[in-house]
Structure 1
């Protein structure tokens, strides 16, 4: 693989990982409301889910290419519905809401990644565009998928840190913040469906 391709892959991966998506927005919102201590199980679920989804992408790209398009088409609508559900819960939550504590489970963050079409498209595009033309080994494809998940995890941690920095601002203006987060999630869902 040429150095130019590796640089292009890295730039693509970093930009894609740091842009807003369901996992990043949920991490930001959870950190703003609950902080690291209460949200760490959810964050861990997001991170582990990221790795599992990228492993699925590697296996899919490597061995199930002909079946991938119908699966992605179905996941697109399931993911959009889940993201809308998440947006509704964010817009209805408040810093003192007891209902929002249910969202802090590991499995909530983990399962979010399975319907997060952004990270599937991220992994599939990166692997098919930057890796598969140069490598035919499953191990190499899998290692690149792990690199994608690591970059994504670092990006989500940056969103968590952003939530920590602005936690006090959130407490004062949570309604406006929740509306903005819900609208951003709505945009994520809409862009998934119209692609």
Structure 2
């Protein structure tokens, strides 16, 4: 009997550790409240070969506000506020409108600003040094295998995404600043005139 109890407790220990890691990540993100930073991006294939480089601006604000603007080599923009996400491609002159849940399926990176307990429960979070690895649990649909979020002195420093093909996108953050009142406009999006609109929202 004692052996059975010990086996059960041992099996539960990893789950408890994962819960602690998730709580620790949530606490660090909540402590930031809102940040704006420049980023440099490097995309490599499964063999480590450089595929693409880029630069842009990222902003995060709790809760459910996200801004990602790739400025080079080709411009693209993602703006999320509450449950609505706009994806704008200036070159193609088109805007896609999605639900936040759809972005979560595409990438757990949206968890950085999303606090829905059900969504968080669908991902395993493991702390490794100053980084947290976020990966979908079995049966959860996601285009990204792992998102690694790293901190330096409580400051978000790096984000690394690895997809199912083994390609990795690494975002190194710099020139960080707290979100101010003037930055609130980053999280609103006015659809430009003349662009095609693909509204994929389900509600």
- TM bin, normalised by shorter chain, reads under 0.3
* Structure with bigger gyration radius: 2
* TM-score (ref. length: structure 1): 0.25
Where relative contact order (Cα < 8 A, 6+ residues apart) is larger, the structure is 1
| Structure with greater proportional strand content | 2
| Structure with greater proportional helix content | 1
